[in-house]
Amino acid sequence: MREQTIIKLEIEAATAENTAAFGDIIGRDAPVEPVSVDFYKGAVRMSYPTRFTSEHPVEMTLAQMTRRPGEVRYLERHFQHTQAFLPLGGKPFVAVMAPPSEGELPDLEQVRAFRFDGSAGFALHLGTWHEFPFAIEDDTDIVVVLSSQTGYDLKGKDPTTEEAHGPDLDKKDIVARTGHVFRFELTE
């Protein structure tokens, strides 16, 4: 087995500015102006904080999460849809991401960890490398908006490497491929 180099990540508070290379904030603090819906005399205001695209049917799933260690072994990206994570109940979560890249692997020097406070969700840009979000508190629920193709691609994972590939998904074992593992401290 290859020796592992631990790369410590500091968790940053997610803002529209520091997450712009990875995707878009979905919430009141998104940098877009809401507009009134004519029928409700200004009581309903709509904004368009992100564009969601998908080449396949879209599914809304509910991820019921408990805390797990702050360790990232796998990073994945999607080619055919802009996956989104929407927290329920105001519970915070951590997302580990790297910007989209042309190569077979993410730029490991650009991997960052962001703490979302539970008041907003996040939509990934096409190709953004990421690990599934980490719960900061047990019983954290997140709505995940994703392409139906992702499930097919995940079911086809390699039994030896546990990597998964398909038309939409590219999930890589970063530890096996590079000898690096990312770690961070999950604190409330």
Contact predicate 78/151, CB 8 Å: no
CATH number for region 5-183? 2.60.120.480
pLDDT, tens only, 89-125:
999 999 999 999 999 999 999 999 999 999 999 999 9
pLDDT band, residue 179 (cuts 50/70/90): very high
Query: Coil, helix or strand for 108?
Result: helix
List the chain domain ranges.
5-183
**Is 2's pLDDT higher than 70?**
no
Q: Which CA distances in Å does 66 have to 27, 109, 147, 162?
A: 23, 28, 24, 22
Q: Which residues contact 97 (CB under 8 A, 6 or more apart)?
A: 19, 22, 23, 111, 112, 114, 124, 128, 129, 130, 131
Two tokens, residue 104: 């077979």
Residues above pLDDT 70, as percent of the chain = 98
Q: What is the pLDDT of residue 39?
A: 77
